[in-house]
Chains A and B, each alone.
Chain A
């Protein structure tokens, strides 16, 4: 484990408990967002990682080493630090600001120059800016410098304390893209404190929701949207966002048709043909007696083998493509469309057949995703019914 925090507690003198039994494991390259209302202890927790604050009890380990055994000054030089107020030194040029930590580490001058140039390129600012002072840059440009200052000495962990809180929405968005891109490209581990749920959902690979010093939930953005752990998390996400998020968190189980034409392998081909005829379909799924998916059989198989084979088990295809009912439609839709199947069986975790997804149902989903926002609710209800009708037709074909 790259960064691990175990049973962290922080009590301020006077008895105010800021952090209570905080446990978190962070892998290298993760983008972790601490989110919570003010006073939830998110900043306090973050500041304990570079020992700006000392925990009352508990241990923090980086690469297995207990940080309380390390020299705080040396530790901090290895951890990038970006704060809300940007904190560029007004009396130093941008070049000096970027190479502040390298300078503390006593790098040679030419290496620092080279690094300053590389860093400013990283955030798409012209090289001339290196010799300017922070006051000559806009707020957004300043925070770009603030971000690369935290990267300049090859720090592996970057701590960011509401770095974009003071920026306007447009600048904030471009900086969010920037940090996400940098993080993915350079493989940095980022601990990002924010109170903005949108920001956390966009950036994080792991969200830590905190309230009054306690962890409420640790999960991926998807997981948080799908299963908020409690009412606090739900409120923090907001009803609007939960509704908006629905298309992207719909599972296959929610869109599949449950009425499936299935047959067991021991049945005769004659029976299979009769069943196809009755159900007006051209293929059947094959399951065992317990309902576990075994394969499929279609009308051509029966046609070619009617004379030589007798039971369904003799001619069925076992290489059946299926999806799990709890997988996200978003993740599976592309695979389904690419394979070009007319319909795909859906199984549960025990590999039991529970339903079927047709291409017509996928059309419905894609339609909803593209125009769902614009349509009135009634309209989308209408399309759903007509799409369902189309499903039936597709099945019968």
Chain B
């Protein structure tokens, strides 16, 4: 392999380990998405709740902020103490990191809804639930989507270091490359799809975000 240049090596690697890379790509993607979906299930209701109860706002955002400041490798290790090696540890880590952008954006989105619309809605006889379903959520959806987008991009990065707790994913390929002599091509073989995944997802979610923006 030494007689090939970097690009040739990279193509050679993909040609011979294509299905392995694809499997890891898939795994990587799913770990990130599961973590974010879990965070959305928990974070969006929390965001809605604190938008209506402004007193709790500072505390909840504060806690989410603290979680965010813990270095991801440290977090991964701490969670590992509880959950042991494996995929679950990474999913929980992704979940914790995704909370802040999701909660924060939901809160901001909900509170940016024009108070006049809430007044009009209530005055016309909407119940709390109808107001939420027909006015608040549709109008804050694009901001909530922006939060999910942030969270997902973040999640892909965190999943990459999940390899240290044996979760697999594209991080596995990168680590393999760093351990090998002259492993530059292998590092790229793992890093490029990771980056690509982040960029594509960001673009797709960005497109959806625009789609659901009511003012556009």
Contact = CB atoms under 8 A, between A and B. Distances in A.
Contact of A90 (B119, B124, B125, B214): B214
A83 B125 contact: no
B201 to A, nearest CB: 25
A100 B214 contact: no
B117 A73 contact: no
A101 interface: yes
Contacts, number: 56
B125 A87 contact: no
Contact of B139 (A76, A81, A91): A91
Interface string B129-158: 010001100110000000000000000000
Interface centre among A50, A81, A87, by most chain B C-beta atoms within 10 angstroms, is A87
Interface in A101-148: 101, 104, 135
Contacts of A73: 125-127
Contacts of A84: 116
Contacts of A75: 125
A363 interface: no
Contacts of A91: 138-139, 214
A240 B117 CA distance: 38
B123 interface: yes
A263 B70 CA distance: 109
Contacts of A159: 123
A101 B130 CA distance: 12
A7 interface: no
Interface string A152-180: 00000001000000000000000000000
A159 B120 CA distance: 11
B212 to A, nearest CB: 9
Interface in B43-95: none
B123 to A, nearest CB: 4
A36 to B, nearest CB: 20
Contacts of B122: 52, 76
Contact of B124 (A81, A85, A86): A81
A135 B116 contact: no
B114 interface: yes
Contacts of A352: none
A77 interface: yes
Contacts of B117: 87, 89-90
Given A52-B119, A83-B119, A87-B116, A101 B124 contact: yes
A104 B121 CA distance: 11
Contacts of A52: 119, 122-123
A231 to B, nearest CB: 35
Contacts of A258: none
29 contacts: A52-B123, A73-B125, A73-B126, A77-B124, A78-B125, A81-B120, A81-B123, A83-B116, A83-B120, A83-B123, A84-B116, A85-B114, A85-B116, A86-B116, A87-B117, A87-B119, A87-B120, A89-B120, A89-B121, A89-B135, A90-B139, A90-B214, A90-B215, A91-B138, A91-B139, A91-B214, A100-B124, A101-B124, A149-B124
Given A83-B123, A87-B117, 10 more contacts: A52-B123, A76-B123, A85-B116, A87-B120, A89-B134, A91-B139, A104-B125, A104-B126, A135-B215, A159-B123
